[in-house]
Amino acid sequence: AALIREESNIQRPVYYVSKRLLDAETRYPDMEKLALALVIASRKLQPYFHAHSIRVFTNFPLRQVLQKPETSGRLLKWAVELSQFDINFQPRTAIKGQALADFIAEFTYDVNLPTGVLEKPASDTSKLWKLYVDGSSNENGAGAGIVLISLEGHNIHYALRFKFPTSNNEAEYEALIAGLKLAQEMKVEAIEVYSDSQLVVCQVKGGYHARGERMMAYLKKVQ
């Protein structure tokens, strides 16, 4: 993390904070790693955080993650700790200079992404965010995986665990809905969506008819 002071419309680095993650911390979900970076910066630079309003520049939905009602565990603890400071989150595009360029983490992943295209609203794919969704359900429970990729190639990963029974097809829809909500929170204007569920892809594109009230409700919500 880098602390930047802006004077006369010029941004100057003031302090740099770095920390090697512990073994357990390397296995945190990526949004938790970002939250941890902010917490560590606030601890090391506490006098600055108490004395000034802090603007956090990020293209990730860190504010939404820390402030959502269902936040629990480590995130809840960190959210309470950070609440003592005047922190505002802004898109990283608002940074005028390149002072942070070498200090912003680029998250990369080795994942098997689903390949069925749900929607392709523009011919120039370089102007599209990409959303990959996958849901599954078995006797042990249901969950979903989401990967949202920005225009700059930044990756946001989410793993969801559903606390209600679902079929495989319903889990696929839940994953899609959660991914679209995330994209909406990020104010994404154009997106290309991928799913490995042939049923969901064909229903959303109009090739299949949704059968049953629940599936019809899911389809309506997506549309």
Q: Using one digit for the tens of pLDDT, what is the confidence trace for 97-130?
A: 444 444 333 333 333 444 454 554 445 556 788 8
Q: Which portions of the chain are predicted below pLDDT 70?
A: 1-2, 10-18, 69-70, 92-126
What's the pLDDT at 11?
A: 64
Residue 25 DSSP label: G
What's the pLDDT at 12?
A: 64
Query: Strand pairing of 129-138 and 141-149?
Result: antiparallel
What's the pLDDT at 39?
A: 92
What's the pLDDT at 94?
A: 45
What's the pLDDT at 100?
A: 42
Distance CA 23, CA 211 (A): 47
**Alpha-helix residue ranges (DSSP H) falling in the chain:** 30-44, 46-51, 62-67, 73-82, 168-185, 198-204, 213-222
What's the pLDDT at 195?
A: 85
Instruction: Choose among 140, 36, 113: nearest CA to 79.
Output: 36
Q: Output the pTM of the full model.
A: 0.48
**pLDDT tens, residue by residue, 142-157:** 888 888 888 877 777 7
End-to-end CA distance of the chain: 40
Distance CA 93, CA 187 (A): 13
Domains annotated on the chain, with CATH: 2-103 (no CATH), 116-222 (3.30.420.10)
Residue 65 DSSP label: H
Q: Which region, left, alpha or beta, applies to residue 52 given φ > 0 means left and ψ of -120 to 50 means alpha?
A: beta
